[in-house]
Structure 1
Amino acid sequence: MKVEHGELDGVLLFRPTPHHDSRGLFTRTFDAAVAAEAGLDPGAFIQDSQSRSRRGTIRGMHGRSGKGEAKLVRCARGAILDVLVDIRPQSPTFGRGMAVRLDDEDFVTLYVPAGFLHGFQALTEPADTCYRIDREHDPAEDLAVRYDDPDLRIAWPLPVTEVSRRDLEAGSWAELSRRLGG
């Protein structure tokens, strides 16, 4: 498994080597030793979650206040376009975003440090996304910015088919940026 640095400060991509044969494939999706070598505490991830989304669905853009939340994200079935925005005011990449395709061919796992907005669009029917999170969820710390905020200029690749009511009612990047002191 190779580890690469993402475009944004602190973001990592874990690239496994899937082994293919006549039966299908086998791949390692997490390796504690590799995570530790990359500077992560593998034991810090206390919760695993999974979502299933229909093609075109957008989930996001979500974040957490307080200490934030670090997570490992991968697509176990299908494909997604995963999008991050750095919301750490002291970060050299504050306000910048990046997008990466995660799928069930390459099995890349994206490490998202605390202090990011995160969201994705399902590119396939369906897409299963797995999250390994380092903190219990506290709804009082939830942050959200609309997926189509004009200041973020996220280029979602497909027409949007589904968005939750919560995501439709999310605030703006300008509002959140002011609140964070950016």
Structure 2
Amino acid sequence: MQVVQTELDGVLLFEPTPHRDARGFFSRTSDNAVLAAAGIDPTFPQDSQSRSVRGVVRGMHGRLGRGEAKLVRCAHGAVLDVVVDARPGSPTFGRWASFTLDDESMRSVYIPRGFLHGFQALTDVADTCYRIDAVHDPSEDVSVAFTDPDLAIPWPLPPTLVSDRDRAAPSWWELRDRLLTPAGR
């Protein structure tokens, strides 16, 4: 399994080497030794999965306070996965990066604490799996509009379904001001 540093500090791609034959494939999707060697605590007390249909956008979501780190992969289908650096003081604060996660490459992305995360389903059905390093605390939830013009994320498909929460999410500048205010941290 190869570990690739992305342009955003701490965001890592894990690229497995699937073994394919006439039966299909076998692949390691995670390896605690590889995670630890990359500086990641391999303890994930919560695993979650979502299923989305083509065009669905989920995000941009994050956590304040203690936050949470995630290891995300697409087990079936394909998604465009997007992360935004929301760490005040980071040299890449406010910048985003995107990655195609799919069931062919089997890549996963590690998203450290302090990032917003979202994705769009690119196939008829996409199953996205998350390994999360902290039990979800809804009191820490924050979101930013996935259509925010300051972030200008180029979603590849017209959005088909979006939750009410995501549709009503505030702008990047509203969250940015909250993050940069000492009381907001």
Q: Structure 1 length normalisation: TM-score? A: 0.98
1:33 partnered with 2:33:
yes
- Give me the whole-angstrom Cα distance separating, in 1, the residues matched to 2:84 and 2:40: 20
Deviation at 1:41, TM superposition (A): 1.1
**Match for residue 177 of structure 2?**
178
Structure 2 residue runs of 5 or longer lacking an equivalent are none
Whether 2:18 is the aligned partner of 1:18: answer yes
Q: Indicate the RMSD between aligned Cα atoms, in angstroms.
A: 0.8
Deviation string 1:112-166 (CA, Å, 9 cap, x unpaired) is 0000000000000100000000111111100000110111100000011000001
Query: How is 1:1-182 mapped onto 2 (pairs within 5 angstroms)?
Result: 1-43=1-43, 45-181=44-180
- Residues 30-74 of structure 1 deviation map (CA, whole Å, 9 limit, x = unaligned): 00000011111112x110000000000000000000011100000
In 1, the alpha carbon distance for the partners of 2:99 and 2:108 equals 10
Secondary structure (helix, strand or coil) at the match of 2:155 reads: coil
Unaligned segments of structure 1, at least 5 residues: none
Aligned-partner SS, 1:42 = coil
- Percent identity between matched residues is 66
Tell me how far apart the structure 2 counterparts of residues 6 and 113 of structure 1 sit (CA, whole Å): 12
